[in-house]
Structure 1
Amino acid sequence: MAGGNLAITAADYSLLTDLYQLTMSACYVGEGLAETPAHFEMFTRRLSNGFGYFVAMGLEQVLSYLEALQFTGEQIDYLQQTGIFEYAPAAFWELLRGGKFTGNVWAVPEGTPMFPHEPFLRIEAPLWQAQIVETFILNAINYQTLIATRAARMRHQAGDRLLLEFGTRRAFSPQGATWAARAALAGGLDATSNVLAAQQLGVNPVGTMAHALVMAVGTLEGSEDQAFQAFHRYFPAAPLLIDTYDTMGAAHRLKTQIEAGETVLKGIRLDSGNLAQLSKDIHELMPDITIFASGDLDEYEIARLQNAGTQINGYGLGTKLVTGSPVNGVYKLVEIADKPTMKKAKNKATYPGCKQVFRNVAEGCDRMALATESPQNNEISLLELVMKGGDRLTEPEALKTIRNRTKVNVEKLPDGVKQLQNSDPYPVEISEQLQALTKEVAARLKNYT
């Protein structure tokens, strides 16, 4: 089979996992460990792309997935037919047939800035359940966290200028495109051109026009101006893309038409050329016209344009928003059957036990501690219980709420942490109790080798 269009629905999510999650779970069943209480935490070991922080995003998709998780008879038949599970215990298949997620989830609210080694999600569930859900959790959160972080950085640089998400054609998949649109808006952008994502998010899509319309209509009807007039007959409020041929030539003709009362123009878009200089020249020519720019822009280019005194009022962000070095979020076992555990591999060591992150906003620092510890003066606990026994404890949040949380939280970060280049490290203290437990578990693990 060629796979058709490989469309994915929520019913498919149980198999949207790595094979080893299933083989490990079968092993747990055979060894009588499947129902053992286990605790896994998700965190990053480092920040990617020179970021000074990352913005946690994707929790809503994780909770929806966990609520609906189940294996169909057809899916179980497929697994059995592969021959891979020939020696798996019969009880494994019974577990899958009746299985669903029955655990607890602790997480930081979406839109919360986080730092290396700090857990921003914890799964507490029977071992087989906590194992099988790893792949989807990492997929949903890592990608959306990358997009939300880049969006927050772009918003910080752009101030109150309009920021639009144009990344669908460059996102890594149709599913990725809708997740990218959601994360971009939650991270601080104003709207998306992705019509499906806009419908699902309950907002209106935005957009302008492409060079193809100018070329097609202009070629068939005689001129670039006729293409502009044709588009405005049906979409009179839409900005016009004026850089298909001669940007300033188009601008001068439009000014003449405005002065003659032949057209009304609210905005123009630039997609090529020296954006800073063009924006200045057009602003001088038509000071009341909104100028919008696009074309492989990111937070660094926005900063460069701003420093060059640009007259750009808004930006369209695409390729460099929805792609880039991934957030390296990992999902590691920290406790099994009430016994703290840790990984000791070189450069990949982890902290044992269930943890909490306490933030002192006034002093601009965090304290990573055991979950049993209490906040100190001026500290707030970041991880919250959002699912208990497989049931959600919170309603899905409005996108506006998450976007506002992101904005407020990023604004509170120290200025040095928000720098685009050579950002200052955010101070994260390891509590004395966590340090002591780490030494204790490390000593115990020496006997395992």
Structure 2
Amino acid sequence: MGALVDLLNTNSTHATLERQENLMLNLTSAEYGLLTDLYQLTMTACYVGEELDQQQASFELFTRRLPQDFGYLIAMGLEQALDYLEHFHFGSEQIKALQDTGIFAHAPEQFWALLANASFTGDVWAVPEGTAVFANEPLLRIEAPLWQAQIAETYVLNTLNYQTLIATRAARLRDVAGPEATLFEFGTRRAFSPQASLWAARSALASGLDATSNVLAAVKLGREPVGTMAHSLVMALAATEGSEAEAFTAFHRYFPSAPLLIDTYDTIAAAHQIAAKLQAGEMHLSGVRIDSGDLLSLSQQVRKILPDIPIFASGDLDEYKIAELKAAGACIDGYGLGTQLVTGSPVNGVYKLVEINGIPVMKEASGKTTYPGRKQIFRRYENGLVQGDRLGLITESPQDQHSLLQLVMKQGQRTQFSEPLDAIAERTARSITSLPAQTRQIQQPTSPPIEPSAELVALTQKTRKRW
């Protein structure tokens, strides 16, 4: 087992350096094949030995229940999942690393040949990013040779679970803050990894936030990064140049009109200093940020001192705190959102086999029963609002309902181009406004009714009787 950790078990200096480099864990697309749980590979070896690896299989990704106080989810992460499937392969270095573990000593020789020629050749069905979904509804289905669909499980779950969480939190924050508020994503330092911070920023922007402080994410997404300053700049310049006011002046020397962070020492005193500079025509300002203290009281006092200057708030804010601040009459024009946006109760999505070689299958464990067969979500609207969903089989007709799952990859090739972020953000906004009020509320929400179709119920009963 030690070979899993130390793939180059040697005492040479050269090997030690190589091992240290490997442990930096920087991910490249060439390593996508190995970014999976071990049991996906051991199962694949077993499938090969039993001559099942090429059997056509269908797996669906869904969540059995929503996080507490969530009435819906906003699907996100499809773009990264499709990129993974497009680049899925095993290079010679990755295959050798597996062989060096010794774990696969009894695997059939065909297993290695399968990996050497690996690529994803299946179909993918998914709800578009930015679509509202509910418990037990598939966000994605992979139809592919069994071994391919099996290995994909770990990566696509990681991708869709995390990004759907961020997208849903961002949508809830936008819904509570209102369309007029400015919302910035500040979560890079709290995201679960540097790479995750990039996709968290994308998910937030695709779900209604205005901008991100993550420079790399902004550049890659064609956006302008945003931000103010840290308390350390104010403390450093105040200590060396004489005062907090001098710190503000120095910062504006290089970034004229930039927002200023005013709560390093005395928020109200800082606001008065800024007001004096504004009245003297010595400063132009696009906003001030308050990151601590009683945000309600401070924002109201600062508004009286700086009546025409936008006030931004930050500091572990979530949708509940924003709702409280708004209800109490806080004078806040925008929010910086970090820790509570990019962390929180997970979206506990699962990935389950629903059909193999045309045979519907289901899990019957207590509390974890699944529906068999390839499914479609049929959504019914009335006066623009979601009235409920019918969870049916892929062979059923939509009747007067909308089919949510779309074919996004055919035989390993995308069937549509990547969508612009603005288009996804518009879909997210439409999804939210289409939900009933009781589904959008952040305390004890109620999801619309989700009913299995008569055909799905019949197939479930038939599948149970068979086993």
Q: Give TM-score, length-normalised by structure 1.
A: 0.98
* 1:67 pairs with one of 81, 86, 89: 86
Q: Of the candidates 190, 200, 203, which is equivalent to residue 210 of structure 2?
A: 190
- Using the TM superposition, give the Cα deviation of residue 4 of structure 1 relative to its aligned residue in structure 2, in angstroms: 4.1
Q: Deviations over 1:135-192 (max 9, x none)?
A: 0000110000000000000000011200000000011111111111111111111110
Equivalences for 1:29-428 in 2 at 5 Å? Answer: 29-160=48-179, 161-362=181-382, 364-377=387-400, 379-428=401-450
C-alpha distance in structure 2 between counterparts of 1:211 and 1:68, whole Å: 43
Distance between the aligned counterparts of 1:197 and 1:261, measured in 2? 36
SS of the aligned residue for 2:335 comes to strand
Does the residue aligned with 2:189 lie in a helix, a strand or coil? helix
**1: CA distance between counterparts of 2:122 and 2:131?**
23
- For 2:173, give the aligned amino acid: M
Q: 1-side partners of 2:438 and 2:399: how far apart?
A: 25
CA deviation profile, 1:229-255 (whole Å, cap 9, x unmatched): 000011112110010000001111211
Kept in 1: contact 2:312–2:336 (CA 8 A): yes
What CA distance in whole angstroms lies between the structure 2 residues aligned with 1:165 and 1:12?
Answer: 29
TM-superposed CA distance for 1:5, in Å, is 2.5
How far does residue 330 in structure 1 lie from its aligned partner after superposition?
Answer: 0.5
Q: Distance in 2 between matches of 1:310 and 1:84?
A: 60
CA deviation profile, 1:4-49 (whole Å, cap 9, x unmatched): 4211111111110000000000000000000000000000000013
Verify: 1:438 aligned to 2:457, yes or no: no
Give 1:259 shift: 1.2
Distance 2:283 2:80 in 1: 46
Distance 2:43 2:190 in 1: 35
Secondary structure of the structure 2 residue equivalent to 1:361? strand
Rounded Cα–Cα distance in structure 2 between residues aligned with 1:326 and 1:212: 33
Q: Distance in 2 between matches of 1:210 and 1:4?
A: 32
| Cα distance in structure 2, aligned partners of 1:380 and 1:285 | 53
Percent identical pairs in the alignment equals 61
Provide structure 1 residue ranges, at least 5 long, that are not aligned to the other structure. Answer: none
CA distance in 1, matches of 2:225, 2:265: 27
| SS of equivalent to 1:237 | coil
Q: Which residue of 1 aligns with 2:14?
A: none
Alpha-carbon distance between aligned partners in 2 of 1:260 and 1:155, rounded to the nearest angstrom: 37
Residue equivalent to 1:12: 31
Aligned counterparts of 1:338 and 1:332: Cα–Cα separation in 2? 15
Query: Secondary structure, in 3 states, of the residue corresponding to 1:170?
Result: coil
User: For residues 63 and 215 of structure 2, what CA distance do their matches in structure 1 show?
Assistant: 32
CA distance in 2, matches of 1:237, 1:376: 56
Cα deviations across residues 62-87 of structure 1 (Å, max 9, x unaligned)? 11111111100010011011100011
The residue type equivalent to 2:130 in the other structure is G
Distance 1:103 1:65 in 2: 13
Matches of 2:43 and 2:150 in 1, distance apart? 8
Give 1:224 deviation, angstroms.
0.3
Alignment length (residue pairs):
444
Amino acid at match of 1:230: A
Letter in 2 for 1:196: L
* Aligned residues of 2:165 and 2:346 also touching (Cα < 8 A): yes
Distance 1:261 1:437 in 2: 75
In the other structure, the counterpart of 2:8 is none
Question: SS where residue 66 of structure 1 aligns?
Answer: helix
Distance 2:381 2:256 in 1: 47
Could you report, residue by residue, the CA deviation over 1:188-223 in whole angstroms, capped at 9, with x for unpaired residues?
A: 111100011111111111100110000001100010
The unaligned stretches of length 5 or more in structure 2 are 1-18
**What is the alpha-carbon distance in structure 1 between the residues aligned to residue 283 and residue 132 of structure 2?**
47
- What secondary structure does 2:206 align onto? helix
In structure 2, the residue corresponding to 1:436 is in which secondary structure? helix
* TM-score using structure 2 length: 0.94
Other structure's SS at 1:386 match? strand
Which whole-Å CA distance do the structure 2 matches of 1:28 and 1:89 have between them?
10
**What is the alpha-carbon root mean square deviation over aligned residues?**
0.9
Runs of 4 or more off by more than 4 Å in structure 1?
Answer: none
**Alpha-carbon distance in 2 for matches of 1:331, 1:265:** 51
In 1, the alpha carbon distance for the partners of 2:283 and 2:194 equals 38
Letter in 2 for 1:443: K
- Mapped contact 2:257–2:283 kept (Cα < 8 A): no
**C-alpha distance in 2 between matches for 1:329 and 1:102:** 24
Once the two structures are TM-superposed, the CA of residue 429 in structure 1 deviates from its matched residue by 1.1
The equivalent of 2:16 in structure 1 is none
